[in-house]
Structure 1
Amino acid sequence: MRTEGRRAPDADAPWNEIVPGLWMGGHQYRDAGGQLAPAVVDAQFDVVISLYRREGHGPAAWIDHHHVDLPDGPLSADQLEAVCLLADLAAAAVRSGRRVLVRCHSGYNRSGLVVAHALVTLGFTTEDAIFLLRRQRSPWALNNRLFVDYLTTGLDVARLLAGLEPDGLPG
């Protein structure tokens, strides 16, 4: 599910390197002629993490591919846990010298959440991680304010808070 309404323009590249070995992208972009083009992954990366899937967009069958459907909106405790696990996987792969692509529909929010948390796992501050995404991918990266709030709160805390049932809170 993709949240409409933020009116972010399509990216001008299928994917961008955020730090050496860690790439962020989407399933479509605007080519040099301004036309909408599919971002198809073949074997350019050792690990591909997809938070959105579109038939025919790869990667090649032998590539280490992890797929979890995430909405571009409020996440459950289980979904936030999946973000943490995928970010840990991405960080470990980068540390071992593997080329990693994290992608979603447009390559701004869901992929940004995972990549930013991977950067924090790699030792960056949250603020520096967000800055890098916006500088390297697009100023529109992480335009979902809720995802920025998850990052600044800390994903472990956000996961605990998301797991609280409204009827279990003191009132």
Structure 2
Amino acid sequence: MKKTRQQDRNIPGPQTPWSEIAPGLWMGGHYWTDASGALQPAVVGSEFDVVISLFTADGHGPDYDTEHVIGEIPDAPLTAAQIRTVQRLARTVKHAMDGGLTTLVRCHSGYNRSGLVVAQTLIDAGHDPDEAIDLIRRRRSPWALNNDLFAAYLGTGLDIAALLTDLDAPA
């Protein structure tokens, strides 16, 4: 598997496997840090109706009867195609929520990639970007969306970010 996570930014790991950001919308990771500081696996069973994974690891679920959508993206600058993947996944999450399904969006630690998709889902639901980012940081962790580029994508708007990214792509 290709590397999809940036190097450790010397930030504390999440204290829970996942956190509810809005009713039915959860954000988390494949790993979390317990009270002793030990890294623990976050294994999903059948707690959620839909699981969106932006990072995958064997043995982390979900159960076979849970809808599982995988869209691996790096915790790094994104290509236009990867930004479009984020938009597609955010629409999938919003559709699930509108249908009353509980949805978990997860990445490695549940900070950046999952934060990008969750924030875009909230924006699609009517929040402005700053409100969406603030809500995620209050509900998940102050360290959520610490990737400044992802916050900039949200502030600019993903459509414009994708167009601008395409301008920098080699011909």
Query: Take 1:144 and 1:81, find their aligned partners in 2: how far apart are those partners?
Result: 18
1:8 counterpart = 2:11: yes
The whole-number CA distance in structure 2 between the counterparts of 1:30 and 1:139 is 15
Q: Residue 167 of structure 2 aligns to a residue in which SS?
A: coil
Partner of 1:25: 28
Give 1:35 deviation, angstroms: 2.1
Which of the residues 54, 67, 76 maps onto 1:64?
67
Aligned-residue sequence identity (percent) comes to 53
Assess, with a 3 A threshold, how the Cα gap between structure 1 residues 45 and 166 changes in structure 2: closer, same or farther.
Answer: closer
In structure 2, distance between residues paired with 1:17 and 1:64: 19
1:73 Cα offset (Å): 0.3
Query: What amino acid sits opposite 1:40 in the alignment?
Result: V
Q: TM-score by structure 2 length?
A: 0.94
Once the two structures are superposed, the pairs formed by residues 19-168 of structure 1 within 5 Å of their partners are 19-165=22-168
C-alpha contact 1:52 1:105 (8 A) present in aligned 2: yes
Can you give the 5+ residue segments of structure 1 that lack an aligned partner in the other structure? none
Larger mean Cα displacement after TM superposition, 137-146 or 88-97: 88-97
Change (3 A) 1:10 1:167: closer
* 1:36 CA displacement: 1.4
Q: Distance in 2 between matches of 1:165 and 1:140?
A: 29
Alpha-carbon contact 1:6-1:143 (below 8 Å) kept: no
Shift of 1:165: 4.3
Change (3 A) 1:17 1:163: same
**TM-score computed with the length of structure 1 as normaliser:** 0.94
Root-mean-square deviation (Å): 1.2
The superposition leaves residues 9-55 of structure 1 with CA deviations (integer Å, 9 ceiling, x where unpaired) of: 11000000000000000011112343211000000000000000000
Q: Within 1, Cα distance between the matches of 2:125 and 2:170?
A: 37
CA contact (8 A) 1:21 1:94 kept: yes
**How many positions carry a matched residue from both structures?**
168
Letter in 1 for 2:156: T
Which moved further from structure 2: 111-120 or 159-168?
159-168
Cα separation, partners in 2 of 1:163 and 1:46, compared to 1, 3 Å? same
